Structure 1
């Protein structure tokens, strides 16, 4: 891997660019911070009326912390995180423990960082605070990007309310239904994968002491699985129950009755069932992703995060890959002038496409082949997982969780 220009994250240049970022989510703020730390001016265009993050828990592997450290917010996220001791895979029908992957000292030495779980806000707020404190970042609300027009020396962006913003480049970080992607790639609506997920977050005080496991625990059953882990610095338990029900209409955050959730996961047994029944104020989503594409850059416009490579949750890498994108983009544009932008964006695309496509396809495979088999296929899966040693499990994780060679550590 070739060294990127200007690895010093505090370097500035008298010929720094002005970047427009569509979308003020995790990926968009990370991109803004990465670029600003290298002396570039950034305007973040957020469609909502405020910068805020909704949602529940997410998992952060060491590769996410490598990126967060590079962005200067690793310590702030660590202060809010829950560092889990293991990943635990259970048979949701029999209640048996199939395999566990320890995440303690040996894992941390192997991958040069911890594995943690956080509430989405506990990742988002440190990024937002750092952007607000940074020189050269302008945060604009109520600015839904509608389209862009490339010019020989820049790009003009039109928003839904009739405003126009100009800059040297545009980063589309506006999510799975990205308006920037619609114009750049033109591949239509996201793929509805046919899985419905139900989420609930409950105060830890409602959870019996014996069920407050310091683990990310997954219970696998025929065409369903159930995940739970502690978030919010230990104050809450995050519950996520997923059903392969063939859903074909996108749904995002719709309230779901408790009785419906209980009925749809009636096969759950033992501790998993007890935890499911503690859930309140359930909401449902129908999961979507897209097929990988080789090209998500055109001239002075590029994509990042879910706009570039949306993936299912099953590899727990969506936020991690967005953070990686942001770091690589910032490093590649480190000393760029306006004239350098198209070539640097092509390099960014080339650096990221193989890794992110592999992660997208891994997430699909995990949902289809690992979490949801029944009968003999489930028994074969269990036997395969039980045969894996700790070293085997770490070897499977290494390409995804390990430090990236294009990150040059700072002093």
Structure 2
């Protein structure tokens, strides 16, 4: 690492690693501080929409992602009441409309690709098993005391908190909003190829909508497994992301759903569950030379599959703002917040509304299904144009 200003990033998840790569490419040295001793991405699958894919492609990662990701045949919207298909969107339409693909990938595969790029970079240091002990502002920079395998103090031009929904960095920003429970839980499992029910298509994304719950499944690990996420209305506040889920509970929750769903729910050997928690993006993201990124700033419900995508977008915009004002970091971070907040708030609110639509009951659910059948796949895609067409630096990119 050279004499360039150093940016400290806390957290080596997808957002933190992507930010390290974008910020280094903008002319800064980067230190990533990760509290765990080894990288272990929480969760199994992730959906990569075109807006996120463009950023990763700009970092030269598209070929590596293409090797391990899957471009499904279609996204099927299914009725959790009748079992019938409500609508189907061919995934090839994404490439045709947006010039970039829609893919699904194992989170660990994406993290491995990002980490490999980070480890190759001479201007990025990844410190595992390391925490921030203190941040001491001095002049326009901060002296940061790190505790890990080797304690050290680094001089940082900025501290970027990419440390998730329970961010410690957020505590250093006056006016940042705290996490709030959503009143729903997510259940996650992976079904290996040998256990996949015959009724489950292995190269399609399935979205099942039903009363007070929905279920999503899609292929991962080059098609060797299917990722399943079920989200139910449930008040449960145990902390963490990996609580053991009793399969009898989730099976009972879906015992009146169509046979195909019951087969999915009872196929796995183990489930994990966690309480959905969100962070309102209306709070403050930046103060002085400290800023938040990804879930630390705006954790959102997963109903639009945009949580990781927003963190990846954040990374691109952060780098552009730092590059534009390298001599005035507070100005750069304020510009980053100002550009990102309107778009993220719109996505955050849209995700909440989408969750309400997925979990409708009775007459309202019937009207929803009829409307989806009538609009067809083309209009289904068009309603999210403003999400998928985004690219960093384009006019109006904050709110398109």
Tell me if 1:352 matches 2:376. no
Q: CA deviation at 1:200?
A: 0.7
Tell me if 1:237 matches 2:252. no
- In structure 2, C-alpha distance between the alignment counterparts of 1:396 and 1:300, rounded to whole Å: 37
Aligned with 1:48: secondary structure? coil
Report the CA distance shift for 1:407/1:146 in structure 2 as closer, same or farther (over 3 A): farther
Q: Deviations over 1:252-311 (max 9, x none)?
A: 211122222211221221211111111221111111002222531111111111111111
Tell me if 1:38 matches 2:7. no
- Return the match for 1:221 from 179, 186, 210: 210
Q: CA deviation at 1:205?
A: 2.2
- In structure 1, C-alpha distance between the alignment counterparts of 2:240 and 2:31, rounded to whole Å: 31
TM-score normalised to structure 2 length? 0.93
Mark the runs of 5 or more structure 1 residues left unpaired by the alignment: 1-11
Which 10-residue stretch deviates more, 201-210 or 252-261?
201-210
Tell me if 1:330 matches 2:316. no
Aligned with 1:83: secondary structure? coil
- Return the match for 1:96 from 68, 78, 84: 84
Which 10-residue stretch deviates more, 127-136 or 261-270?
261-270
Q: CA deviation at 1:405?
A: 5.3
Q: Deviations over 1:323-381 (max 9, x none)?
A: 111111112223653x321211111111111111111111111112x111111111111
Say if 1:192 and 1:249, in contact at 8 Å, map to a contact too.
no
Say if 2:177 and 2:280, in contact at 8 Å, map to a contact too.
no
Say if 2:197 and 2:264, in contact at 8 Å, map to a contact too.
no
Report the CA distance shift for 1:74/1:385 in structure 2 as closer, same or farther (over 3 A): same
- Return the match for 2:94 from 90, 107, 110: 107
- In structure 2, C-alpha distance between the alignment counterparts of 1:348 and 1:28, rounded to whole Å: 16
Q: Deviations over 1:38-96 (max 9, x none)?
A: 33111101011123323211111011110101122122112110101222111101111
Tell me if 1:402 matches 2:389. yes
- In structure 2, C-alpha distance between the alignment counterparts of 1:299 and 1:89, rounded to whole Å: 46
Q: CA deviation at 1:389?
A: 2.7
- In structure 1, C-alpha distance between the alignment counterparts of 2:245 and 2:113, rounded to whole Å: 31
Say if 1:45 and 1:141, in contact at 8 Å, map to a contact too.
yes
Report the CA distance shift for 1:107/1:24 in structure 2 as closer, same or farther (over 3 A): closer
Structure 1 residue aligned with 2:290:
301
Say if 2:175 and 2:284, in contact at 8 Å, map to a contact too.
no
Tell me if 1:278 matches 2:240. no
Higher relative contact order (CA 8 A, sep 6+): 1
TM-score normalised to structure 1 length? 0.90
Structure 1 residue aligned with 2:75:
87
Structure 2 residue aligned with 1:246:
235
Report the CA distance shift for 1:349/1:15 in structure 2 as closer, same or farther (over 3 A): farther
- In structure 2, C-alpha distance between the alignment counterparts of 1:217 and 1:182, rounded to whole Å: 39
Report the CA distance shift for 1:21/1:196 in structure 2 as closer, same or farther (over 3 A): same
Structure 2 residue aligned with 1:261:
250
CA RMSD of aligned residues (A): 2.1
- In structure 2, C-alpha distance between the alignment counterparts of 1:272 and 1:306, rounded to whole Å: 30
- In structure 2, C-alpha distance between the alignment counterparts of 1:134 and 1:407, rounded to whole Å: 27
Structure 2 residue aligned with 1:5:
none
Say if 1:147 and 1:180, in contact at 8 Å, map to a contact too.
no
Structure 1 residue aligned with 2:380:
393
- In structure 2, C-alpha distance between the alignment counterparts of 1:146 and 1:388, rounded to whole Å: 54
Structure 1 residue aligned with 2:154:
165
Which 10-residue stretch deviates more, 128-137 or 205-214?
205-214
